[in-house]
């Protein structure tokens, strides 16, 4: 066992009030890992608080403890644990509420900036939840039905139902371990990946109706006007980008989401080896080789599309040259 893990175990067992934090625009792995870690720490009798900088999306509100998540850092917390955040800025509004550095950073992003005092990062794992399944016992923490429900949600969502290229035999072993508890894979899958609102379905209709395809590059957009037309009030793109990757011949898919105050949010997915995180970084964003995002401010949809599509085409071109040379 690594020295870092031993030190983390010692620190966690010695703490009085632990606050577990996750990243902005929380996804299933962020919510699931924050709550899974919260419940696991309670198995050793700790006082634990859970914090996220943004609201928990409605499809994760079934998770036990989600109603107790706040966007505050309790003043008497003497230990801060971050899960699923690749860097400190991902903690959004929580950053300015931090009175001390993050003690323990548990994550699976290869780009993790190791911003805490103790950094436990395993970029081989498909989700922070997968990493936690193996880590809990090393940290002297136990699993129970609540921990398992939360972690299985992280695992299912980050792997899109065990179908991303990051899914390994170890991922399925972790799921197997979690399913020994009173959890419903079917229910988690349906609530988090399959079910969607009528408005989100209409949004898909708009976005898919406007899809463009050019030499392996697929893109579309979600506009403020379009959202208003159908009464879609959520912030995201209803995961349109994943639908684009289903289009035959797609190498890279891009979705542009227009937001208020001249912000355009961009999501990339790569189906071959092109590193879209690299493209995203050139716009101040980040992510994984196969899935990345960025926001451009002070622009409009048309200008953002021009510059982002050009940069993406360039990356695709360079990748093809590299393949043939
Ligand atoms: Mn994750």
pLDDT digits (tens, 9 = 90+) for 104-159: 999 999 889 999 999 999 999 999 999 999 999 999 999 999 999 999 999 999 99
Distance between CA 303 and CA 321 in Å, rounded? 27
Q: How far is the CA of 4 from the centre of ligand 1 (A)?
A: 21
Residue 152 CA, ligand 1 centroid: distance in Å: 12
For residue 84, the CA-to-ligand 1 centroid distance in Å is: 5
Partners of residue 294 on adjacent β-strands: 266
- Expressed in angstroms and rounded, the spacing between residue 109 Cα and the centre of ligand 1 is 7
Identify the sign of the CA torsion 104, 24, 238, 263. negative
Ligand 1 centroid distance, CA of 158 (Å): 6
Ligand 1 mean position to 40 CA, how many Å?
18
Q: Model-level pTM? A: 0.82
Taking only the tens of pLDDT, the chain with its 325 residues reads: 699 999 999 999 999 999 999 999 999 999 999 999 999 999 999 999 999 999 999 999 999 999 999 999 999 999 999 999 999 999 999 999 999 999 999 999 988 999 999 999 999 999 999 999 999 999 999 999 999 999 999 999 999 999 988 999 999 999 999 999 999 999 999 999 999 889 999 999 999 999 999 999 999 999 999 999 999 988 777 889 989 999 999 999 999 999 999 999 999 999 988 999 999 999 999 988 889 999 999 999 999 999 999 999 999 999 999 988 7
Alpha-carbon gap, residue 268 to 251, rounded angstroms? 11
Task: Count how many residues are written for the chain.
Answer: 325
How far apart, in Å, do the first and last CA atoms of the chain sit?
42
Map out the domains of the chain with their CATH numbers. Answer: 3-194 (3.90.1640.10), 198-324 (3.10.310.30)
Please give the distance, rounded to the nearest whole angstrom, from the Cα atom of residue 93 to the centre of ligand 1: 19
Tokens of 30: 């962020």
Give strand ranges (E) for 216-262: 217-222, 252-259
Neighbours of ion ligand 1 (CB under 5 A): 29, 84, 127-128, 158
Q: How far apart, in whole angstroms, are the C-alpha atoms of residue 221 and residue 233?
A: 16
Of all residues in the chain, the percent with pLDDT exceeding 70 is: 100
pLDDT tens for residues 166-192? Answer: 999 999 999 999 999 999 999 999 999
Instruction: Report CA(108)–ligand 1 centroid distance (Å).
Output: 7
> What gap in Å lies between CA 51 and CA 53, rounded to an integer?
7
Sheet of strand 47-51: strand arrangement: 47-51, 17-21, 79-83, 104-107, 118-121
Predicted pLDDT at 324: 86
| Torsion (CA) 72, 75, 80, 86 in degrees, nearest 10 | 30
Report helix, strand or coil for 67: helix
């Amino acid at each position: 066992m690594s020295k870092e893990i031993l030190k983390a175990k010692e620190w966690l067992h010695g703490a009085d009030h632990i606050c577990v934090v996750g990243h902005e625009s929380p996804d299933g792995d962020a919510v699931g890992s924050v709550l899974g870690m919260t419940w696991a720490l309670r198995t050793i009798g700790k006082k634990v608080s859970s914090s996220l900088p943004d609201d928990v999306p409605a499809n994760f509100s079934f998770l036990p403890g989600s109603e107790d998540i706040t966007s505050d850092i309790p003043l008497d917390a003497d230990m801060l644990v971050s899960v699923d955040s690749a860097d400190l800025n991902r903690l959004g509004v929580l950053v300015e509420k931090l009175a001390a550095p993050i003690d323990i950073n548990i994550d699976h992003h290869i780009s993790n900036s190791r911003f805490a005092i103790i950094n436990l990062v395993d970029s081989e794992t498909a989700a922070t939840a997968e990493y936690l399944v193996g880590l809990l016992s090393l940290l002297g923490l136990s699993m129970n039905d609540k921990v398992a429900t939360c972690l299985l949600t992280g695992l299912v969502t980050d792997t899109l139902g065990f179908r991303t290229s990051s899914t390994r035999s170890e991922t399925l072993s972790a799921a197997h371990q979690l399913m020994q508890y009173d959890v419903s894979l079917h229910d988690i899958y349906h609530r988090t990946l399959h079910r969607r609102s009528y408005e989100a379905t209409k949004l898909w209709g708009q976005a898919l109706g406007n899809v463009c395809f050019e030499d392996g590059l697929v893109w579309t957009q979600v506009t403020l006007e379009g959202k208003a037309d159908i009464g879609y009030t959520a912030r995201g793109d209803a995961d349109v980008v994943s639908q684009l990757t289903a289009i035959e011949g797609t190498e890279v898919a891009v979705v542009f989401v227009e937001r208020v105050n001249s912000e355009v949010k961009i999501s990339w997915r790569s189906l071959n080896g092109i590193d879209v995180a690299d493209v995203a970084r050139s716009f101040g964003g980040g992510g994984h080789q196969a899935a990345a995002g960025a926001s451009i401010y002070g622009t409009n949809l048309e200008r953002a599309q021009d510059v982002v599509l050009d940069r993406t085409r360039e990356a695709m071109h360079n990748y093809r040259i590299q393949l043939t040379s």
